[in-house]
Structure 1
Amino acid sequence: MSFGSWVSNGVVGSPAFAAFDQGYDVFLGNFRGLVSREHVDKNISSQQYWRYSINEHGTEDIPAMIEKIHEVKVSELKSSQPDLEEENNSDQPYKLCTICHSLGGAAILIYVITRRIEEKPHRLARLILLSPAGFHDDSTFLFTVVEWLFLRFAPILMPLVPAFYIPTRFFRMLFNKLARDFHNYPAVGGLVQTLMSYVVGGDSSNWVGVIGLPHYNMNDMPGVSSHVVLHLCQMKHSKKFIMFDYGSAAANMELYGSPQPLDLGEYYEFIDVPVDLVAGRKDKVIRPSMVRKHYKLMRNAGVEASYNEFEYAHLDFTFSHREELLAYVMSRILLVGPSSKQQFGQKSARLRRKDVQVRAN
């Protein structure tokens, strides 16, 4: 949810700096979800603030980021090219490639598919998805336990616990002190690393290093909405990449135009840009079998998709310095050619045959 991992290795080993060094404009975005509850409505309640699922990441957060990028790029290009014509729905004067990891991968797919359903431009030229979420039926024992608890006790639990976070400054300060101790005392850090690895099914990612990132501080820390957790549990239970199930046919009908939430895998034919899927053989959070499930559905739907695997755990894709991954990602970005007219509307006839509507909650 934080862009920090994309720059956590400094100017030498971070994906964001690697792209910048190659001459690309780099934009970094955050999803909503901080314990400070920063919001335009200063009086927003905790329940209201945390009432969002992965739907909102894909239908509100990402569109806001991309439209801001579009505004910035068009403004820059007009400044340097005064005779630049105003772009329309089928043309834009730049190419935009997105690189997403884990939850960001699921959200960007929701974004592209829902924009195509709404017949709006998504402005993207290529998707590079590193261990993307979406399919979770092959997952760890912990996730299975969480799924069982949430699906049965969500009506009781969620009003009481709208999100999972450290609520007070004192306990955040204590957590921050412990994080520093993990680094200062290798034996303690090693014990925590082992416990964290065991909890997530043996994934060997540098969990201790992650909680030492600057955005885990006494003033603010990321939190996870209970609705996001429930949404992931719904995906795991259904064995499908679905949008959020609001729990009743009437609510789903109002949001989606059908009594069931959209099965996004059935709409992969609407992905009209190349997609590069990358899995980690040591990834126990999102296993390679689940990334291959995206790939197979995309290929069956006629999407121009590629699949690759590396010997990585889940957080290695962003937090660790991996030269081969940086080289691979840069090679995929290079495939994005010079700006040309978007093929928006190419599948509009097929889109209209789908009696579907999608609106943000």
Structure 2
Amino acid sequence: MLLKSQICPWAYQPALSASHITLFQLLVFLLLVQKENSLFLYRPPPFDPDYLKMFLEPDAEIYRHFPISSTAWHVKETVEVLKIWGKSGEEHTITTEDGYILSLFRITPIKEKATPVLFLHGLLAAPETWLIRGKEDLAIILNEEGYDVWLGCYRGSNYGRRHVNLTTANEKFWDFSFHEHGLYDAPAMIDHIYRETSQGVAIIAHSMGNAVFMSMLALRPEYNNKVYMFVGMAPYAVARFQYSTVVQTLMPGLVPFLNINPNTIKYADLYTRRKLNPLVVVCAIARLTCLTTFQFSQGVDFKDIDWTYVLVLGAYFPSGTSNKNIIHIISIGNAEFRHYNYGPTKNLERYKSQTPPKYNLTNVKVPVSLYYGDNDMNVLISGMEAQVKALPNVVKSTIVKGYNHPDFLLDKDSRRLLYNPILKDLRKYVGTK
């Protein structure tokens, strides 16, 4: 759940007509806001196009020396990204109990019988988002520290669009939220890792990955026996968020359109990964416009952010999810970590109550270490106390000064401020079994 600006369904309308909000209209709106905020007083942030090109491949040799284009280039996938950093990896295929076929990526361990660590990414993210900076990324750091690193993917993502019976054209395929990620997807990952290694796992999550993990143990407490510990970065579960004024104003009118089936309305599927996100090309040119979007959604101070990393990260966004998941994510943003709300009548049928039940977090028995950013609009510090109180075994809760939501993945000083403390957590509660 990195970019709220990409979560908001700007393009959804009951019908695609003259009233359809186009990308051009959105950019014009942002330019006007940008002018209002006097951002033109600042020079556009620099970025390194050659660094971005490392993550891209031209669709044909003739494009290799052409400018980057969203129609002529495509992003490299996980195993190829690992090769950039001199690493090798494997793509494993797993099938969930309810028939979804997912990919699970393993970074080749440097020693035998290394302790497995499973990474769970956030909303609309992808396994590649753990690998943007190479030796400065936590996944690579843990691999070099001797851990057996696995990168998970969810149903509906770029690596989870297959099913034993259904296709993505079937509306039933998209009937899921993070609830099903926790009930089926994460357990399938853990079971596969156990079959491959005969070991349990430590789990590290960012943003929505926390909701996936918490819902898994709330619903399937037997998996406490297969998890050594959990580390949550920007832990969006029992959390509070604060949208910008503009987003808060637009949200009530936009959320109803999320119920549209993206497969029956052309151009309405905002969440599917493209060959290369066209906004990356736009942002490489109109950087101040994109910075306005970041400021509205994340409160990011563009003077302190490496724009090159932002563009690489953006190239992999969005990587797929369901409308139902977006609605569920929004609904729990006031420290109400509950099951999906179907409305009073259907709730009564499903839950025997007009309101959806809370997830039973007393079932989360494993040691939990949480890291919050004090500048994170998506996971406010004010929700930290409620999260800690809801869990029975929080061994540490840390506020990382100055951090916003993307900083957990992109900050230039993340090794010292965040990753070294996480390494200490793992050594203390997991070791290198």
- TM-score of the superposed pair, with normalisation by structure 2: 0.60
Mapping of 1:288-327 within 5 angstroms? 288-298=381-391, 302-310=392-400, 311-321=402-412, 322-324=414-416, 325-327=418-420
* 1:24 alignment partner, one of 133, 139, 147: 147
- Which residue is 2:211 aligned to? 106
Structure with the bigger percentage of strand: 2
In the TM superposition, residue 206 of structure 1 has moved relative to its aligned partner by 6.1
In the TM superposition, residue 36 of structure 1 has moved relative to its aligned partner by 8.8
Moved more, 141-150 or 310-319: 141-150
Segments of structure 2 that go 5 or more residues without pairing to the other structure are 1-124
* 1:129 alignment partner, one of 232, 245, 257: 232
- Equivalent pairs: percent with the same residue? 22
Structure 1 residues 60 and 290, CA gap change in structure 2 (3 angstroms): same
Q: Does 1:216 align with 2:321?
A: no
Partner Cα distance (2:345, 2:271) in 1: 35
* 2:379 alignment partner, one of 286, 289, 293: 286
Partner Cα distance (1:181, 1:45) in 2: 30
Partner Cα distance (2:215, 2:421) in 1: 25
- Which residue is 1:15 aligned to? 138
- Which residue is 1:345 aligned to? none
Partner Cα distance (1:305, 1:23) in 2: 24
Partner Cα distance (1:143, 1:69) in 2: 40
Structure 1 residues 161 and 68, CA gap change in structure 2 (3 angstroms): same
Structure with the bigger percentage of helix: 1
Q: Does 1:195 align with 2:295?
A: no
Segments of structure 1 that go 5 or more residues without pairing to the other structure are 75-93, 341-361
Q: Deviation digits for residues 167-187 of structure 1, max 9, x if unmatched?
A: 6x9xx46844x514634x4xx
- Which residue is 1:240 aligned to? 336
Partner Cα distance (2:159, 2:193) in 1: 25
- Partner amino acid, structure 1, of 2:299: G
Structure 1 residues 120 and 249, CA gap change in structure 2 (3 angstroms): farther
Structure 1 residues 50 and 249, CA gap change in structure 2 (3 angstroms): same
- Which residue is 1:149 aligned to? 253
Structure 1 residues 208 and 133, CA gap change in structure 2 (3 angstroms): farther
* 2:172 alignment partner, one of 48, 65, 89: 48
Partner Cα distance (1:281, 1:49) in 2: 38
* 2:429 alignment partner, one of 316, 336, 345: 336
In the TM superposition, residue 200 of structure 1 has moved relative to its aligned partner by 0.7
Mapping of 1:221-232 within 5 angstroms? 222-232=319-329
Equivalent residue of 1:59, what SS? Answer: helix
- Partner amino acid, structure 2, of 1:295: V
Q: Deviation digits for residues 338-358 of structure 1, max 9, x if unmatched?
A: 699xxxxxxxxxxxxxxxxxx
Q: Does 1:271 align with 2:358?
A: no
Partner Cα distance (1:260, 1:213) in 2: 37
Equivalent residue of 2:162, what SS? Answer: coil
CA RMSD of the aligned region, Å?
A: 3.2
Partner Cα distance (2:358, 2:410) in 1: 31
Contact 1:284/1:313 (<8 A) preserved? yes
- Partner amino acid, structure 1, of 2:372: A
In the TM superposition, residue 161 of structure 1 has moved relative to its aligned partner by 4.5
Q: Deviation digits for residues 178-221 of structure 1, max 9, x if unmatched?
A: 514634x4xx22x134222232152346687445348639xxx5
Structure 1 residues 111 and 160, CA gap change in structure 2 (3 angstroms): closer
Structure 1 residues 326 and 339, CA gap change in structure 2 (3 angstroms): closer
Equivalent residue of 2:231, what SS? Answer: strand
- Which residue is 1:348 aligned to? none
Equivalent residue of 1:334, what SS? Answer: helix
Contact 1:206/1:315 (<8 A) preserved? no
Q: Deviation digits for residues 15-38 of structure 1, max 9, x if unmatched?
A: 001111111111111122346973
* 2:202 alignment partner, one of 82, 87, 97: 97
Contact 1:246/1:252 (<8 A) preserved? no
Contact 2:202/2:227 (<8 A) preserved? yes
Partner Cα distance (1:286, 1:15) in 2: 21
- Which residue is 1:261 aligned to? 356
